[in-house]
């Protein structure tokens, strides 16, 4: 029996990983983010429940945590959550250092282009990103 076969066990493991994201140890948080990136292919819905904590990691002081969390958020975005996640990422852009702003801007623009529900929203988000950079 593997974790992929047992839904309850899989959700429990993902919830434990989600709790690890609140740990003070950067190594534990990095490993949790890395494992959640692997788990998203198996159970994206269970990982979605930890979206708020993952978004907090995008604002972390550690560069590797920020980058890994941003990669995970990028995988979490879909047509139904693109608007709130884009809003959160643009808010993160304001407080980001110059090096991370470039990476974050590229990801936001890619998400907006890929999942934009309407053209006016697309233009509005691009203008917001440009005004923050």
pLDDT at 127 over 80: yes
CA 101 vs. chain centroid, Å, equals 15
And the tokens for 58? Answer: 């995008």
pLDDT at 44 over 50: yes
The mean-pLDDT minimum among 3-12, 19-28, 45-54, 75-84 falls in 3-12
- Name the region of 114 (left: φ>0; alpha: ψ -120 to 50; beta: rest): alpha
C-beta separation of 29 from 20 below 8 A: yes
pLDDT at 64 over 90: yes
Distance (Å, whole) CA 133 – CA 131 = 6
* CATH of region 1-76: 1.25.10
For tokens 């990691």, the residue is 57
pTM for the whole structure: 0.89
What pLDDT is stored for residue 5 in this prediction? 63
């Amino acid at each position: 029996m593997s974790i992929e076969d047992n839904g309850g066990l899989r959700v429990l493991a993902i919830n434990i990983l989600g709790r690890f994201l609140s740990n003070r140890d950067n190594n534990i948080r990095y490993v949790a983010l890395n494992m959640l990136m692997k788990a998203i292919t198996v159970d994206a819905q269970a990982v979605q429940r930890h979206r708020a904590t993952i978004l907090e990691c995008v604002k972390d002081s550690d560069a590797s945590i920020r980058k890994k969390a941003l990669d995970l958020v990028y995988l979490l975005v879909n047509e139904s959550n693109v608007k709130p996640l884009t809003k959160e990422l643009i808010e993160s852009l304001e407080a980001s250092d110059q090096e991370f702003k470039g990476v974050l801007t590229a990801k936001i623009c890619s998400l907006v282009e890929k999942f934009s529900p309407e053209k006016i929203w697309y233009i509005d988000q691009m203008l917001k990103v440009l005004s923050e950079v």
